[in-house]
Structure 1
Amino acid sequence: MTSEDQHAAPAPTSLANRYGGQKRALTRKGKRNILIAVLAVGIAFLAWVTTSAATTSVSFKDIGYSTTDATLTEVDFQVTKDPAADAKCAVKAMDSKFAIVGWKVVDIGPNPTDAGTDGGHTTGHSTQLRTESQAVSAVVDNCWIPDAGK
């Protein structure tokens, strides 16, 4: 060993010097502000979900179907929506391998308040589908409120 090696002492190290001091705990005011922010975001999200579902709400229920022959199927269904709104429903017929053999988009216009049930909200509909082969099932795939500008 040389004399230089003996004189070089390691620098004083401690955990605080190496990693920094202890973090301060969150104050009571900080915790309260975080809680208020989380509640505000939660309330805003619930309001958005509620209003977006209420403005474009449409639902459907399959009632039944009948197959006249290999080229024609009739589908019966109910639609529940705002009586003044237009809606569109996609109806499909399927074969035994679940392949789509018939497809149609049905326009549902505004309803008078004395039509159907619930003051015109729920109305029954029937449509005929042309099919490529024998259908063994027919259902409503989806219903929606079309955009007013389109």
Structure 2
Amino acid sequence: MTGKTKRNIIIAALVVAIGLAAYVATGSAQAPVTFKDIGYSTVDDTQAEVDYQVTKSPRATAKCAIKALDSKFAVVGWKVVEIAANEPQDDPDGGRTTVQRTTLRTESPSVSGVVDNCWIVDSGK
């Protein structure tokens, strides 16, 4: 192999490596599911309600972990809920975003409620 051929092979390998890195970086930057806390209310000493929105592919099924906290930030209520797949809609985001309300049982009075995490369980290929 000549020096020019080796150099061309190295340049081609670098271009492929950079392209692969860019593909991986942009693919992982787009989260399959996102969530946003909207509101919280205390029903009584044993129940709390958390309002939130979930954005995902309309045909995907997600699960979200919802928690209620007391004044010392201790978890006093916890629930995993399923956000079912739905048909795409004729709204600006195509039915990707849905608003949810989850009622939690609490072991003592709570002062806040939040979404801990959401994940996709079925992508609805």
Q: Structure 2 length as normaliser, TM-score?
A: 0.82
Structure 1: segments with no counterpart, 5+ residues = 1-26
Query: For residues 78-117 of structure 1, what are the structure 2 equivalents within 5 Å?
Result: 78-114=53-89
Aligned residues: 121
Q: 2:21 aligns with which of 30, 41, 45?
A: 45
Q: Quick one: structure 1 residues 87 and 136, their matched pair in 2 at CA, closer, same or farther if it must change by over 3 Å?
A: same
- Superposition deviation, residue 116 in structure 1: 7.1
Contact map agreement 1:116 1:122 (CA 8 A) in 2: no
- Superposition deviation, residue 147 in structure 1: 5.2
Larger relative contact order, structure 1 or 2 (CA cutoff 8 Å, min sep 6): 2
Q: 1:72 aligns with which of 47, 52, 67?
A: 47
Structure 2: segments with no counterpart, 5+ residues = none
Structure 1 residue 131 corresponds to structure 2 residue 106: yes
Contact map agreement 2:61 2:122 (CA 8 A) in 1: no
Structure 1 residue 141 corresponds to structure 2 residue 116: yes
Which protein is richer in strand relative to its size?
2
- Superposition deviation, residue 90 in structure 1: 0.5
Q: Quick one: structure 1 residues 32 and 71, their matched pair in 2 at CA, closer, same or farther if it must change by over 3 Å?
A: same
CA RMSD of the aligned region, Å?
Answer: 2.4
Structure 1 or 2, whichever has the larger Rg, is 1
Q: Which amino acid aligns with 1:50?
A: T
Q: Structure 1 length as normaliser, TM-score?
A: 0.69
